[in-house]
Amino acid sequence: MARKLIVGNWKMNSSLSANHDLLHAINAGLTSTSCQAAVCVPAPYLAQGQQLLNGGALALGAQDVSAHEQGAFTGEVSAAMLRDFSVRYAIVGHSERRQYHGETDAVVASKAQRALAAGITPIVCVGETLAEREAGHTAEVVKRQLAAVIHTNGHCISEIVVAYEPVWAIGTGKTATPEQAQEVHALLRAQLAAATEHPERIALLYGGSMNAANAASLLAQHDIDGGLIGGASLKAADFLSIVAAASQ
């Protein structure tokens, strides 16, 4: 990876006025030497994001995308609609969607496919629960989740971003140690190497309680190419500290 990638996942937070201040502050803090950065905002704020970011250094992302192209799917947002708002990235298969909305590996793979077909980079999330880790199933779970996406998206696979987000580390303040994260990232890189000639082009992000204090040690790992940041992406100073750590 030439430059690291830091992506904010705002989840279902913020408001029209708070977004305004947050996006202005982040934009103002980015420098020409900053790593790549993006924010995945709630869907109703995409128009505001498009207007405020205006094709600048901070890229716009969505938190989900429909597995369907168009039609009678009430409440869904299609990849083409996201494209209308200059969206560059769409998170797919976040553990909160898998857990609360019953998204299967097959649905996640279709979502990635829809995003890719619209020219949007899917950020494919994989990760094990605490019970799965304790049972020694981490490798099996993340490989199965990624395999579904590889299988469905074949030759396009070098166009995706992968985020390893251990479910037990999300929003809990319990970060994976750099060694734990690196171990899984190395597995994912090896799996991608079997599917594409250029696995090094695929950014492998770590997510799960990454913050200003722990970002540098995680990002120093060989196969950690950036971060997917939840809570700490809602404060400009914290998000910019992580961007600075990734820009070394």
What residue ranges bind ligand PGA (CB under 6 A)?
9, 165, 170-171, 207-210, 228-232
Give 170 or 202: the residue with its C-beta nearer to ligand PGA.
Answer: 170
Work out how close the CB of 210 gets to ligand PGA at its nearest, in angstroms, rounded to a whole number.
6
- Least Cα distance to 10 among 36, 44, 51, 57 occurs for 44
For residue 225 the two structure tokens come to 């190419």
Active-site choice (96, 103, 128, 165): 165
C-alpha–C-alpha distance, residues 13 and 19, integer Å: 9
Give 53 or 126: the residue with its C-beta nearer to ligand PGA.
Answer: 126
Give 62 or 195: the residue with its C-beta nearer to ligand PGA.
Answer: 62
> What is the number of other CB atoms lying within 10 angstroms of the CB of residue 86?
16
Work out how close the CB of 164 gets to ligand PGA at its nearest, in angstroms, rounded to a whole number.
11
Residue 165 falls in the annotated catalytic set: yes
Q: Which residue is nearest to ligand PGA (CB)?
A: 230
HSE-up of 145 (CA within 13 Å, CB side)? 29
C-alpha–C-alpha distance, residues 185 and 198, integer Å: 16
Q: Is 151 helix (H, G, I), strand (E, B) or coil?
A: helix
Active site residue ranges: 94, 165
